[in-house]
A and B are shown apart, each in its own frame.
Chain A
Amino acid sequence: MKKDKSILIIISFLIIILFFKSSLQGAEESLPIPDPINPYLVSKKNFPEFELPAIQNEAERNYLGVSKNGDFTIGQIKAEILIIEFYSFYCPHCQRAAPDVNEVYQQIQNRPDIKEKIKIIGIGAGNSDYEISSFKNKYKVPFPLFPDKRMEIFRSLRLRVTPTFIGIKINKNGTLEQFYFREGGFEDSQKFLAEIIKFSGIEPGEKNEKANM
């Protein structure tokens, strides 16, 4: 009887250890937990900084406000809000989503109150430079696209599908905070942008009246 009990204790102990070990591993780089009411809202999750390759195109450099010399980090992008689309040249869903994402960009550019505050970039998961420019030409993508040829960024964020849309706040002290996470495309670009603005909590700028001109 006593032997029974000690075996039971040992087994329970082992199970507890195994359980905590696996949950710890899971917590290392976990995906955001969806909000029960707004499935794409992420509440205050720190976002890891990562590097992007230097941009050759001057207009795109100006758009992101980064200097010519070499690689830069996303924290250096001149914006309050950054929308990152993880996509792939080879993914039919991303191909279908491309015009919608272009529309979001246009809507932002048409609004002086948010134009300087919200920027968009695309990261091609598993795509080469050549595939990035092919996608850009095919869909006339007006915002900067970057290759993630070996999927290092994609994997480090534990992403699963393309397209994935991530919204992050770039704080004044350079820290990054994620507030939006969406797997899959969207049907309504206006609704998508409204969500981004709402969830980010930014105040559209003082130039509000110009927006109606």
Chain B
Amino acid sequence: MKKQICKYRYLLCLIMFMILTGITTAFGQSEKFSESIYPVGKLKPIDTVPKLKVGDRAPGFTLPAVSGSKISLSQYVGKNSVVISFVPAAWTPVCSDQWPGYNISKELFDKYDAILLGITVDNIPTLYSWTKQMCSPNEKIWFPVLSDFYPHGAVASKYGVLRSEGVSERALFVINKKGIIVYIDIHDINKRPFLEDLVKALEEANKQ
């Protein structure tokens, strides 16, 4: 029995050595800056079948905004072009850095007379905390962030971008002043759309 323990001691030492070296490596790579972002891994790029196409009238909706008000699509018809940016979920990697880019591009949206509406299926408190860390403490994100939480994903579903796991696609819809959809980009959920593509769509929308 004693002999057997001796034998296993050797194996134990080896395992201990590996665990210890493993720990130092992990410590060396500790991500002090990853903050609160949840790693989702690679997801199925697109998980929905389009319900809408360019030229369709944009389905109307009314949703609560983080600011406390209610926003309806109809309030912009005849006045502004509208960009709807659906992102899958708060606190996930790509989305967490898509809207901050829009947040420093207000002039661009203004230039094309466009309103940006950000929508996720998260509830208001989550969206409040999440969007708060996108800018300095004394600033606010300039565009309305809307919660499509209850009934869950109803607007995402109307727009054909509600995925089977209950989050939305990463999708951009541009709606012209007449309320007609002029651009749809249902993007690979794992990737961020480039800004210039949206700018081109806004240019087009403004011409119509």
Across-interface contacts of A103 in B (CB, < 8 A):
none
CB A22 to nearest CB in B, in angstroms, measures 9
A-B contact count (CB 8 A): 74
Q: A90 contacts B11, CB within 8 Å?
A: no
A88 to B99, CA, bound (A): 13
Across-interface contacts of A90 in B (CB, < 8 A):
97-98, 100-101, 192
Across-interface contacts of B101 in A (CB, < 8 A):
89-90, 131
Across-interface contacts of A4 in B (CB, < 8 A):
4, 7
The listed residue (B11, B25, B134) touching A92 by CB distance below 8 A is B134
Q: Mark A17-36, 1 if CB is under 8 A from B, else 0.
A: 00100010010000101100
Q: Which bucket holds chain A's interface residue count?
A: 20 to 34
By beta carbon, the residue of chain A nearest B200 is A130
Q: Judge whether B208 is part of the interface by a CB distance below 8 angstroms.
A: no
Q: Judge whether A65 is part of the interface by a CB distance below 8 angstroms.
A: no
Q: Mark B13-33, 1 if CB is under 8 A from A, else 0.
A: 011001001000100110111
Q: A130 contacts B14, CB within 8 Å?
A: no
* A19-B18, A128-B195 known; A183+B32 contact, CB < 8 A: yes
A residues contacting B by CB (< 8 A) are 4-5, 8, 11-12, 15-16, 19, 23, 26, 31, 33-34, 88-93, 95-96, 126, 128-131, 134-135, 138, 160-161, 183-184
Q: Can you sample 9 A-B contacts with CB below 8 Å?
A: A12-B14, A88-B97, A89-B195, A90-B97, A90-B98, A91-B97, A95-B100, A128-B196, A138-B104
